[in-house]
Amino acid sequence: MLWLRALFFASPLAMVLGAVWLFDRVTELQLSDDSEALIYAIEEPIGYLNPLVPQTGITREVTDLLFEPLLVRDDDLNLRPNLIDSWTSRTLITIRCASEEAAGEAESKLRSGEYLDEDMVVLDVTREENVLMIVLDGFDSTLETRLVGNFDPENLGDYRLIRLKVTNSVRNSLEAFLSASVEKSQIAMLEYEDDRTANMFVRGDIDLFLRELNLYYESNASLDPRIEEVGEISHTSYREMLMTLRSDVNWHDGTRFTVDDLIFSYNELTRPNSPFGFAGSFWFVEELKKVDPYRLRIACGDTPATMMESWEKLPVIPKHLMSGGIENADWIEFFRKPIGNGPYRIERRRRDGGIELAANEMYFRGPPLQSEVIYRQIGSLESVLLALRADRIDAIVPDMRFTDWSERNPGVMRELRCLPRYQHFVAWNLDRPPLDQRGVRIAMAQAVDLDVVRRDTATGFQTPTTSLFFPGMPYVGDPMQLPTHDPRSADRDLEESGFAMDETKGVRVSEDGVPLKFTLTINEESEEHLRMAEALTEQWASIGVTVVVEPMSWSRILTEKLVTRDFDAVMLEWEIPFERDRLATWHSTSIGAGGGNFCGLRNQVVDETLEQLRYEEDLDAVKVLTGRLNGGIGGLQPCFFVCDSGRVLSLRRDGIEVVRPVKNGEPVVQPIGVGKAGLQNVRPWWVRKRIVQPSEENSPPDQP
């Protein structure tokens, strides 16, 4: 049995051999897969990549790489086509002429240009008996009245227009009425605008007809009928927008992006009770109609100048994956690993909480030159530093320890400051004393030395608030002038507002002996807001104001405080949008349920400015209006603006550059920077420097 003994005694050697083999194989791993990848060290796991809800930090950055917006901002912050390739606006005017001959004469004069003003561009004219249908380019609100005014009055029909509006199926109910009506002969022409509106052009004595119509619809109150006698009028008009989508955009699973996706996203995000709150941005849209897979007709009830800004905000999601019996759990699962249409697609979620992205080969502007991006969580600073020295990390979301190391070792990293996109403020409830008094609010602002409150951290920086609008926007006029730190003036303002200092207690009290006191609600999950609240409370206490800080969860703040406006003061943070339309935030009609005017600001000048801002086309006039709004809000102080904040990233010095694809040309290589439009405009084009080689340069995708 010598062999058995030999085998037994030699068996440990098998383990040694196994260990050697394992060592050899593992050595071969060597991260060969990601040697060309751009590697991003992150601090926290990446959450749900949901473009429908506000996001911050790395999760937002990755979401922006996965989903493409309908419109984009160029480097000068002007709105440019993206998924929406082009759009035209048209005004359709239907004119009822006195007779067929009059219509023929009017048509010939129209075609010869006799009836047209200089700025009128006719796209189409059609005639059907005595009705002329004219399509004009543009949305000018005076177009129809000017055009009809140019007509020979004898050619126009003398009709009275009665407009009927019901909640739905106007055709069915009206036909039922007409089948039994005895006065229907008064109707000369009938036109259905849409499913809810009918225009009846009547002639002669209409009193009996109106009485009959009213009686009929009074018995059908469920339709919520509204009968309007518009007056003597021979024309109707209708405004619509034609939108053309790019036909070369694919979702990451290869499915073509079409109008169906846009309509589905619009309907899902703007439907009643939608949790996403986009409905308020599309108040001017009446109906969306698919013309073909890449063209869309939008019926517009109104034509504000800010329409395209609303479309810019609308995220699009794939209809083929999200429609039809999809449960909430499916939505959550979808946003864990979403199918988007942006320059990058998800390769896999890493078990360390990171994510691996691969360049979208089907991306309509051409795939990004950087073929792989890895976001990974690395356990310790030591690991980060070793990986950095081995050129295995290109970008880092720094922590304090890394920032300290970086300062001690200059030349290795480069700090990249993104734009200050987030605004932090304390919203006052203007319907509650004592903050209903402007003097008290001004004093509260004057009492605080914001230089003490603001601070820079490893991952973010804070700057003074200077405007309500996105920094650098071409439409922004004068900045917002906010009260400066002046404790003496604060004392004086509070005295004038009736709050004297009770020296024995160190607090201010009103003439009735009520102390100047309020509750400041803050989001308990925001460490920065907790810190800010502490600093503010301390400074307000120094002028005798007692502040009770009430931390609570964001969901409770939303449902129990903001929606019901049951608060004294609440500290909020919002992302400064690109758009200029702020009616939903500051207009007096936005106070209350569903509105965004949580402060309850009611000011005629602000209201008028907001309304004008929505419709004004001229850039210079817009600048005046934005300056006026900045001034109005700064002066009224419905909020106490604490600061604007932005992200800080650490990049390997000279490790990354921006390689932008250019239509029919060589890609443009630029040094890394943020630009006016922020990080999201350049982030897709980040490339590790060493892999940019002439032979690898991409073929000529285009540029917005």
Cβ-based burial of 399 (10 A; exposed 0-12, middle 13-18, buried ≥19): middle
377 is a contact residue toward other proteins (CB under 8 A): yes
How crowded is residue 690: how many other Cβ atoms within 10 Å of its Cβ?
9
Please, what is the minimum distance in Å from the beta carbon of residue 391 to other proteins?
8
Is 43 or 105 the residue whose CB approaches other proteins more closely? Answer: 43
Does position 57 interact with other proteins (CB under 8 A)? The reply is no
- C-alpha distances in angstroms, 525 versus 95, 276, 420, 561, 580? 61, 21, 21, 16, 30
**Which of 586, 571, 477 minimizes the C-alpha distance to 524?**
571
Nearer to other proteins, 351 or 488 (CB): 351
Please, what is the minimum distance in Å from the beta carbon of residue 86 to other proteins? 43
- Within 8 A by CB and 6+ apart from 579, the residues are 306, 309, 310, 312, 313
CA-wise closest residue to 647 among 43, 39, 67, 37: 43
Shorter beta-carbon distance to other proteins: residue 378 or 532: 378
| 674 contacts other proteins (rule: CB under 8 A) | no
The DSSP bridge pattern shows strands 517-523 and 546-552 to be parallel
Q: Does 556 bind other proteins (CB under 8 A)?
A: no
Backbone angles phi, psi at 574, to 5 degrees: -135, 155
Residue 20, interface with other proteins (CB under 8 A)?
no
Q: Give the x-and-dash track for 330-349 against other proteins (CB under 8 A).
A: ------------------x-
Coil vs helix vs strand at 596: coil
Short-list 226, 111, 116, CA closest to 164 = 226
- Look up residue 367 and give its two tokens: 């795939």
The single residue among 17, 20, 31, 514 that binds other proteins, judged by CB under 8 A, is 31
Q: Which of 351, 408, 488, 690 binds other proteins (CB under 8 A)?
A: 351
Listed ranges 358-366, 388-396, 398-406, 417-425: which one lies at the site for other proteins (CB under 8 A): 388-396
Judge whether 677 and 660 are in contact, CB under 8 Å. Answer: no
CA 403/CA 407 separation, integer angstroms: 6
**Using rule CB under 8 A, residue 329 touches other proteins:** no
Is residue 421 a contact residue for other proteins (CB under 8 A)? no
Q: What is the DSSP letter of 653?
A: T
The DSSP output letter for 62 is H
Q: What 8-state DSSP symbol labels residue 658?
A: E
**Judged by CB under 8 A, which stretch of 12-20, 92-100, 108-116, 256-264 contacts other proteins?**
12-20
The distance of closest approach from Cβ of residue 653 to other proteins in the complex, given in angstroms and rounded to an integer, is 19
Task: List the one residue from 20, 22, 215, 514 that touches other proteins (CB under 8 A).
Answer: 22
**Least CB distance to other proteins at residue 64 (A):** 22
Residue from 230, 233, 387, 416 in contact with other proteins (CB under 8 A): 387
Neighbour tally for 19: CB within 10 Å: 10
604 binds other proteins, rule: CB under 8 A: no
What is the residue whose two structure tokens read 């004392």?
491
392 binds other proteins (CB under 8 A): yes
The residues with which 551 forms a beta bridge, in sequence order, are 522
Residues 6+ apart with CB under 8 A from 564: none
Least distance between other proteins and beta carbon 378 (Å): 7
Structure-token pair, residue 471: 């920094």
C-alpha distances (whole Å) from 684 to each of 38, 67, 119, 473 are 12, 11, 41, 22
Q: Does 169 bind other proteins (CB under 8 A)?
A: no
Of the residues 386, 514, 605, 668, which one makes contact with other proteins according to CB under 8 A? 386
Figure out which of the listed residues 112, 328, 380, 699 binds other proteins, where binding follows CB under 8 A: 380
Residue 379 CB, nearest approach to other proteins (Å): 5
Q: Which two tokens stand for residue 234?
A: 């021979």
The nearest distance, CB 20 to other proteins, in angstroms, is 11
Q: What character string, x for contact with other proteins (CB under 8 A) and - otherwise, covers 177-196?
A: --------------------
Within 30-99, residue ranges assigned H as helices are 57-66
Point out which span in 275-283, 383-391, 420-428, 631-639 binds other proteins (CB under 8 A): 383-391
- CA 201 distance to own-chain centroid: 42
Q: Is 169 helix (H, G, I), strand (E, B) or coil?
A: coil
In the complex, least distance from residue 281 CB atom to other proteins, rounded to whole angstroms = 33
Q: Taking CB under 8 A as the rule, does residue 273 contact other proteins? A: no
CB of 563 to other proteins, least distance (A): 28
Query: Looking only at residues 127 through 146 of this chain, which bind other proteins when binding is defined by CB under 8 A?
Result: none
Residue closer to other proteins (CB basis): 488 or 690 = 690
Smallest gap from residue 330 Cβ to other proteins (A): 17
Binding segment (CB under 8 A) for other proteins, from list 137-145, 374-382, 407-415, 601-609: 374-382
CB of 655 to other proteins, least distance (A): 15
C-alpha separations of 518 from 95, 243, 365, 569, 639 in Å: 62, 51, 54, 7, 14
29 lines the binding site for other proteins (CB under 8 A): yes
Smallest gap from Cβ 292 to other proteins, in A, equals 42
DSSP-derived secondary structure letter, 282: G
Q: Which of 275, 390, 503, 513 binds other proteins (CB under 8 A)?
A: 390
- Is 328 one of the binding residues for other proteins (CB under 8 A)? no
Quick check: 531 binds other proteins (CB under 8 A)? no
Distance CA 477, CA 167 (A): 43
71: Cα separation from own chain's centroid: 11
**378, 448, 571, 610: which one binds other proteins (CB under 8 A):** 378
Q: Binding residue for other proteins (CB under 8 A) from 45, 81, 464, 577?
A: 45
Per DSSP, what are the bridge partners of residue 79?
A: 73
Q: Number of helices and strands (H, E) in the chain?
A: 21, 29
Report the candidate in 639, 225, 229, 192 with the shortest Cα–Cα distance to residue 428: 639
Asked whether position 19 contacts other proteins by CB under 8 A, the answer is yes
Alpha-carbon distances of 659 from 78, 362, 465, 681, 694, rounded to whole Å: 21, 18, 33, 12, 12
Nearer to other proteins, 26 or 182 (CB): 26
Number of residues that bind other proteins (CB under 8 A): 32
The residue from 26, 180, 182, 593 that contacts other proteins (CB under 8 A) is 26
| CB closer to other proteins, 12 vs 231 | 12
Q: What is the spatial distance between Cα 641 and Cα 381, in angstroms, rounded to a whole number?
A: 36
Residue ranges binding other proteins (CB under 8 A): 5, 8-9, 11-12, 15, 19, 22-23, 25-27, 29-31, 45, 348, 350-353, 377-380, 382-383, 386-387, 390-392
